[in-house]
Chains A and B, each alone.
Chain A
């Protein structure tokens, strides 16, 4: 089925390895993942790269029992929406089994899986509890 594929993964390495987002100086808002166009200011926006510090708060979470095929061996696992300190929210796995809404978490670099055909190993960020 749908594999990420080496080019598609490779071009997002800055975001997946270092949490690089964008900031619009016109409206003073930070976005992750990067956006070419500020969704509020559009062509009036002044968009530049911004590295995020990787700490945030759990907004909501689930424990996934029936994942997509690439995560079948990992289930059950925790998945959350995390609000980063700079404002943007991301969907990411939480490495701790016990989490609560409001928990403070930090990003950590993890192996996510590998592509079947070409053997590419995918890395990316998950989050771990700071509490």
Chain B
């Protein structure tokens, strides 16, 4: 990057079903928390990015960046606001755009936010809105949706690599265990593998508890030039890489259905840019929209060999005390998955961990079945 960038503040709302709070309330709350954490007054903000997948379908609202700037009091201080969209990678993209804005020198203090208000719709309409991340004409028209597509990836992983039903359950069990104690998590409760396997099928072999929930929530971070971070906070963390890559929109067009090429591409570039290897990462927030999503991601991020992702939990590679603690927040599964908020929430959680005992953190945010991937690396000071 032409100029080094740091995260100087982070905040989020509680994730869950916020019947009493609106789309705009959620994102303003997260933004205020991030700005208070950063000790940055509104007048110093140069630019705002909003990650949001589908306010149009969930709450009938487009033009959400202007709405948010208005209700956050940033219109009065003339802050340009931009919405970015890449399905449920929108938040990761918003963070990346904010970092690039500062890195380029165009802006100094930038807010990256993400928000989704999903529970104003019923579950069938939510499934339909989510399906917009897939190819509407050639995956959804024939009868697919995101769960069905990931179910087919799971079947392929089981067939080719011997991954078991129990190994999928282990991912959900681990992430729920991690969420216990996270005040922001939607489901901070332990579950066992038998419970996962007793829930109804969504799309075989995936069951209800293999799936991340529908959630309301927002998250925000404040980024600034690394060499000015001390001006605002003693708790800055450095952004050492943020990379993005694409893959075919349709799962069926991938050469290997059990590999996320976008994840591999983004991770490879991010590791190279940061001068680290996968083994250096000690904390990661990984996109686990379904249990199989995490299994595939930990392979493609280099935490395990290809085909060994199913064993990552039982081999204690990705557990809280493992080689790399994956989804200490509870992940999308237990922390919740307000689509556009998730990528920013991942940065919030990694920032918290790097302020405590961890050294090198990674965030991995996917759009749909992987047409877009964003991988960022952050380091403690």
Contacts and interface: CB of A to CB of B under 8 A. Distances in A.
Interface of A: 1-2, 4, 8, 12, 33, 59-69, 71-72, 74, 76-77, 79-81, 89-93, 101, 112, 122, 124, 126
Contacts of B41: none
8 contacts: A62-B152, A66-B127, A69-B128, A90-B138, A91-B138, A92-B142, A93-B143, A124-B142
Given A65-B201, A69-B128, A124-B142, A91 B155 contact: no
A2 B136 contact: yes
B78 interface: no
B147 interface: yes
Interface in B194-235: 200-206
Given A2-B128, A62-B151, A101 B252 contact: no
Contacts of B132: 2
Category for how many chain B residues contact A: 35 or more
Contacts of A122: 141
B357 interface: no
A101 B158 CA distance: 11
A91 B142 contact: yes
Contacts of A4: 137, 141
Interface string B131-160: 110001111111111011101110110010
Contacts of B142: 79, 90-93, 112, 124, 126
Q: Which of B139, B142, B151, B202 has the most CB of A within 10 A?
A: B142
A33 B142 CA distance: 13
A65 B200 contact: yes
B182 interface: no
A63 B204 CA distance: 5
Given A2-B128, A2-B132, A59 B156 contact: yes
A63 to B, nearest CB: 4
Contacts of B203: 62-66, 79
B251 A81 contact: yes
Interface in B165-200: 200
Contact of A60 (B145, B153, B253): B153
A69 B125 contact: yes
B375 to A, nearest CB: 23
Contacts of B317: none
A71 B143 contact: yes
A72 to B, nearest CB: 7
Contact of A67 (B57, B145, B206): B145
A66 B202 contact: yes
A65 B202 contact: yes
Contact of A81 (B143, B152, B159): B152
Contacts of A61: 152, 155
B159 A1 contact: no
Contacts of A124: 141-142
Contact of A64 (B57, B148, B200): B148
Contacts of B156: 59-60, 101
A86 to B, nearest CB: 14
